Structures are given as structure tokens and as C-alpha cells.
Chain A
Amino acid sequence: KQEVTQIPAALSVPEGENLVLNCSFTDSAIYNLQWFRQDPGKGLTSLLLIQSSQREQTSGRLNASLDKSSGRSTLYIAASQPGDSATYLCAADSSNDYKLSFGAGTTVTVRA
């Protein structure tokens, strides 16, 4: 069974600093890895999807990398802003059956 871990559970940075969020998974045979953002009391917003044949994806200030051999994905957020404060979740699809295994998330606070 796929286990997904996100460390640290919480992170606080000053505005303008680059953010590095980590996601590790136990089964390297993953098909897709998806990063989400969740604001308090809200649903999940999809940020980036990395398919197994890809090593990274970029959208604006966000960049996500995938290293299947080491069981890791990293989400980079450049030049953080207070509006980036949220919980970031990663999820892995290990069986190509679209069933996602989620990490518990990293809660980010960007201080103005």
C-alpha cells in the first residue's frame, strides 16, 4: 500500500522567501502525482499534475519535480506572498486506477 508523507507539517516564512515543500512516497511505481492547495474550511484546488513520464511541471511561480527512484516530489513556490498561506497536499496514484493516496499536508504561513 502506498504511504505518502509530507514533512514538515507546518512552515512559516517571511514574504519574498522561496518555499520548498517535500512529499515522499513508499512505492516508486507511481503513475501520477498531484499537488493541491487547501484554504481553511475549503475544498482542494489542483495546482500541478506530474505524470510518470515527466520529471517536472511548472505553472507561474510554482514548479513541481518528481524523482521516482528516490520516492520524492518537491513543490517550489518562488517569491512567496501572504496569499500563498494555505495547506499544500500531495497525492499519488500508484495503480493507474485513479485512486489517490494523500499526504497529511504542509501548512504554510507567509508573514508580511
Chain B
Amino acid sequence: SQTIHQWPATLVQPVGSPLSLECTVEGTSNPNLYWYRQAAGRGLQLLFYSVGIGQISSEVPQNLSASRPQDRQFILSSKKLLLSDSGFYLCAWGEYEQYFGPGTRLTVT
């Protein structure tokens, strides 16, 4: 069966610091991968998606970036965090039906 992992589970970072969130999927090959952000009281917003290694599409202009160095690994990064980057970050895989990881709670202080 397929499993999706995210780490860390929680993170508190100061403004201006770098960020690296990791997502890995087990039990499937060449999955479509997605990064979403969920702000308090709002729906999920698609940030990035990837259909293969090195193939990244950005949905929302921001100071975040994504990379896919391996088939089942998806990384969300920032060089300098802003207060507005706080939120719950979710990784997902799938096509018609999407499956989500446990999420990372990021607080920028």
C-alpha cells in the first residue's frame, strides 16, 4: 500500500530564516506530487505540483520554491521566511484521487 510521509511535524522559525520541508511517498512510482498550504479558517491553496523528477509548476507567486530531486521526494524551500508564510503545509500525491500526508505546522515568529 502507498504511504506518504512529511517532516518535520511542527516547526517554529524566525523571520528571515531558511526553510526546508520534505515529503516522501512509498509504494508507488512516478506519482504526481503536490504542495498545499492551509491558512487558518481558509481552504487549501495549491502551491506547487510536479509530474516528474525536476518538473515543477508553480501556482502562486511567493518566496517559496519546490524541488523534486528523486521520483518520490518533494521538497518545499524558502531562502528567507516571511510572517505570512505561517500555516499548515500539506503534501499530496495522486491524480483523479489525491492522498494527503500528515502535514507540517509552520509558525514564523
Contacting residue for A4 out of B6, B43, B103, B105, CB 8 A: B43
Q: Are B43 and A89 in contact (CB under 8 A)?
A: yes
The count of residues in chain B whose C-beta lies closer than 8 Å to any C-beta of chain A is 23
A-B contact pairs, 17 of them (CB 8 A): A32-B96, A32-B97, A36-B100, A41-B105, A43-B90, A43-B100, A43-B103, A46-B97, A46-B99, A49-B96, A51-B96, A98-B49, A98-B94, A99-B46, A100-B98, A102-B43, A102-B44
The count of residues in chain A whose C-beta lies closer than 8 Å to any C-beta of chain B is 24
* B99 (CB) vs chain A CBs: closest residue: A46
Q: 1/0 per position for B24-58, CB-CB distance to A under 8 A? A: 00000000100000000111111001000000000
Q: Is the interface of A mostly helix, strand, loop or mixed?
A: strand
Chain A, range 34-74, C-beta contacts under 8 Å to B: 34, 36, 41-46, 49, 51
* A9 (CB) vs chain B CBs: closest residue: B41
| CA A10 to CA B28, docked complex, whole Å | 36
Shortest CB–CB separation between residue B63 and chain A, in angstroms?
21
Task: Report which B residues bind A (CB closer than 8 A).
Answer: 6, 32, 41-46, 49, 59, 90, 92, 94-103, 105
Known: A41-B105, A98-B32, A99-B49. A46 touches B43 (CB 8 A): no
Shortest CB–CB separation between residue A95 and chain B, in angstroms?
12
Chain B residue numbers with a CB within 8 Å of A36 are 100
Task: Report which A residues bind B (CB closer than 8 A).
Answer: 4, 31-32, 34, 36, 41-46, 49, 51, 89, 91, 93, 98-105
* B57 (CB) vs chain A CBs: closest residue: A99
Known: A49-B96, A99-B49. A44 touches B43 (CB 8 A): no
